[in-house]
Chains A and B, each alone.
Chain A
Amino acid sequence: MIATHYVYWAFFALMLIGLYVVISHGNLLKKLIGLSLFQVGVFLFYISLGKRYGGSASIISEDVRAYSHPLPQVLILTAIVVGVATLAVGLALAVRIFEAYGTVEEDEITDDDSTGPDGADSDSTGAKGTGSLHKTDRHGSGS
């Protein structure tokens, strides 16, 4: 079972490592890293479904006898885009959280919320957050 299906075992192990990182770490960035690992494991799983021994890329040619299945690759192209978008939104949120709280550790944020003010004070922080996020973005792409 393991010998013949070792590819699937490896990819499911990768998914589990990713999921474990998401659950066990309190740092928001590490959670996102775990989430990406988890997604990449699934992407590899899909790609491996379409692979054929000795199969070539699906470009029609006279010398080629066997092709790998192109459909899973196309699907995963879409899923990678979705994954990148998720990661981008997650990182943007992490930046905003860092601006509002000064930390990206989940337990410190929760402590801060239960002790600190959450009314009018945080309103202004939120508004400032948007403004400076814009600037940070531009700096990020420049450097």
Chain B
Amino acid sequence: MTQLPVLQVTIPLACAPLCVLVRSRTAAWLVFLAAALFSLTCAALLTEQVADDGPVRYRMGGWPVPAGIEFVVGDFSTPILLLVSLSAAAAAVYGHRSVAAEMDARRSTLLYACLCLTLAGLLGLTVTGDVFNAFVFLEISSLATYTLIAMGRRRRALLAAFRYLVIGSVGAVFVLIGIGLAYAVTGTLNMADLAQRLSDSGGNRAVQAAVVFVFVGLAIKMALFPLHAWLPAAYAEAPSVVSTFIAAASTKVAIYVLCRFAFTVFGASLVFHSMPGDRIGLLLAAVAMLVASAAACLQNDLRYLLAWSSIAQIGYIMAGVALATTAGLSAAYLHIMAHAVTKAALFGTAGLLLIRLGSVQLSALAGIGRRMPWTFAAFVVAGLGLIGVPPTAGFVSKWALVAALVERDQWLVLGALLASSLLAVFYVGRVVEIAWFREPPEGAEPVRPATSMVAAVWFLALLSLYFGIDPTLPDRLADAAASALLGTGGG
């Protein structure tokens, strides 16, 4: 039990070469599924342990803390651990048939290996208590993600992956510069120790530069407007199982790391009071909601539409974080969970439609709702979650966010949020209208979608419904996370 924090990272890491060695598609899939289920179990056990006895600290090799590397599982990281491992498990169930339909056997094993690496990187990023270690995990997950995107069906995927690689590496190097500056001021890399020494050192131009570099670097990684340019093509051109997984997990983990840096390393008083982190964050969030939702309305390809809507949703989450209040952070965590489940279900459905139709151009979707009623019903349920219609998880989190914005009198951001939700009604409604009310083309061959894929998509859609009707679990996790972040930040 005491080894859980490190095992949940090392097991997926060790499974990655195993996937390549087994050479059979099904065996590699089983390895990935096992890794995902193992991390899910670890995450659940750790959540329980943290809720009962407080944060779990694990020292690598038994080295004492400021010198050695430390893993910290606190209330702020357990929701993210659950979310990442749950979406990995859902992607694993979804992936078996999806990968079989999309690529040859040799590349499939490599795909599962890269999925294991991404999972290990994201989980490591979530639990690490050392800033340089965070950079290394960030790069492990990013490098694996670039490779995964390049495995997409069309050759455009290559360019999307290359662009993401260039922009993403620049972002990671920005984070590295920020860490270097903070290290130059304090001489430590441990997050808790850094927080202590930074609050002692007071304001300092090098520390402010460090905050800016880390903020910009992570803003690239989480695709915060206006640094979102890599995201639409990357999500839309990746293999379906990959977009299902990374749309749910990767940008969310980047936001979590931003929270971790802002509240538990640099401290809320520095980032949001002496520096204009709150105003800049809210401004970018509001612009992201409006611009990205408007751009989503103009897309003619379902997966590009969903990717643009993800950028808008990042704006909602960022608004909650930038408020830097308990209510705001709690709303941000709720929206991270709600949006991850919803968007994974939507990208999963898009993947099912892609196998059936060979294209997810909106014009090709005419009448698909009548030909694949079950699959498309999942899309509608998740789409309602995206808009924020009760009773879905999207409604609960948006309601919390509205309450948090009202509490701080942020009426302009609230207006942007409402406008963006209306635009969401439009772009989801447009897909539903085409798919349900237009006549299907003649002579289309019926293809039965694979049961495991539909099951995974429906599981996610029902989860979004369940959390909308009974939000006690996400509420509890989000509240604990918000108070843990604000409690330790010296803010």
Chain A residues, Cβ within 8 Å of B372 = none
Q: How many A-B residue contacts, CB cutoff 8 Å? A: 93
Q: Majority SS of interface residues in chain B?
A: helix
Q: B159–A130 contact, CB under 8 A?
A: no
Chain A residues, Cβ within 8 Å of B359 = 119
Chain B residues, Cβ within 8 Å of A45 = 177, 180
Interface size in chain B (residues, C-beta < 8 A)? 34
Cβ-based interface call for B107 (8 A) = yes
Report the separation of the CA atoms of residues A50 and B231 in the bound assembly, to the nearest whole angstrom.
37
Interface size in chain A (residues, C-beta < 8 A)? 41
Cβ-based interface call for B176 (8 A) = yes
Q: B170–A28 contact, CB under 8 A?
A: no
Q: B159–A113 contact, CB under 8 A?
A: yes
* Cross-chain contact of A97 among B132, B159, B177 (Cβ < 8 A): B159
Known A79-B176, A86-B169: A100·B153 in contact at CB below 8 Å = no
Q: B165–A82 contact, CB under 8 A?
A: no
Chain A residues, Cβ within 8 Å of B155 = 97, 100-101, 118, 122, 125-126, 129
Q: Which residue of B lies closest to A69 (CB)?
A: B187
Q: B107–A130 contact, CB under 8 A?
A: yes
Q: What's the least CB distance linking B361 to chain A, in Å?
A: 10
Q: A22–B158 contact, CB under 8 A?
A: no
Cβ-based interface call for A17 (8 A) = no
Report the separation of the CA atoms of residues A86 and B183 in the bound assembly, to the nearest whole angstrom.
24
Q: Majority SS of interface residues in chain A?
A: helix
Report the separation of the CA atoms of residues A30 and B155 in the bound assembly, to the nearest whole angstrom.
21
Within 8 A of B (CB), among A106-138: 106, 109-110, 113, 118-119, 122-123, 125-127, 129-130
Q: A38–B158 contact, CB under 8 A?
A: no
Chain A residues, Cβ within 8 Å of B173 = 38-39, 42
Known A86-B143, A86-B165: A78·B136 in contact at CB below 8 Å = yes
Q: B139–A82 contact, CB under 8 A?
A: yes
Q: What's the least CB distance linking A67 to chain B, in Å?
A: 15
Cβ-based interface call for B22 (8 A) = no
Report the separation of the CA atoms of residues A125 and B169 in the bound assembly, to the nearest whole angstrom.
27
Interface string of A77-94 (1 = CB under 8 A from B): 011001001100110011
* Cross-chain contact of B143 among A72, A89, A123 (Cβ < 8 A): A89
Q: What's the least CB distance linking B112 to chain A, in Å?
A: 16
Q: B166–A49 contact, CB under 8 A?
A: no
Chain B residues, Cβ within 8 Å of A32 = 166
Within 8 A of A (CB), among B166-185: 166, 169-170, 172-173, 176-177, 180, 183-184
Chain B residues, Cβ within 8 Å of A130 = 106-107
Q: A49–B176 contact, CB under 8 A?
A: no
Report the separation of the CA atoms of residues A40 and B337 in the bound assembly, to the nearest whole angstrom.
38
Cβ-based interface call for B26 (8 A) = no
Report the separation of the CA atoms of residues A89 and B139 in the bound assembly, to the nearest whole angstrom.
12
Report the separation of the CA atoms of residues A22 and B153 in the bound assembly, to the nearest whole angstrom.
27
Q: A93–B146 contact, CB under 8 A?
A: yes
Chain A residues, Cβ within 8 Å of B170 = 19, 22, 35, 38
Known A42-B176, A75-B132: A118·B154 in contact at CB below 8 Å = yes
Give 16 CB contacts A-B under 8 Å.
A15-B177, A39-B173, A79-B135, A82-B172, A85-B139, A86-B165, A89-B147, A90-B165, A93-B165, A96-B158, A97-B159, A109-B159, A122-B155, A125-B155, A126-B154, A126-B155
- B interface with A by C-beta (< 8 Å): 104, 106-107, 132, 135-136, 139, 143, 146-147, 150, 153-159, 161-162, 165-166, 169-170, 172-173, 176-177, 180, 183-184, 189, 358-359
Taking A28-B162, A79-B176, A86-B139 as given, write out 18 further A-B residue pairs in contact, using a Cβ cutoff of 8 Å, ordered by the A residue number.
A19-B170, A31-B166, A38-B170, A39-B169, A39-B173, A42-B177, A42-B180, A49-B184, A82-B135, A86-B143, A89-B165, A93-B146, A93-B161, A106-B159, A119-B154, A122-B154, A123-B154, A126-B153
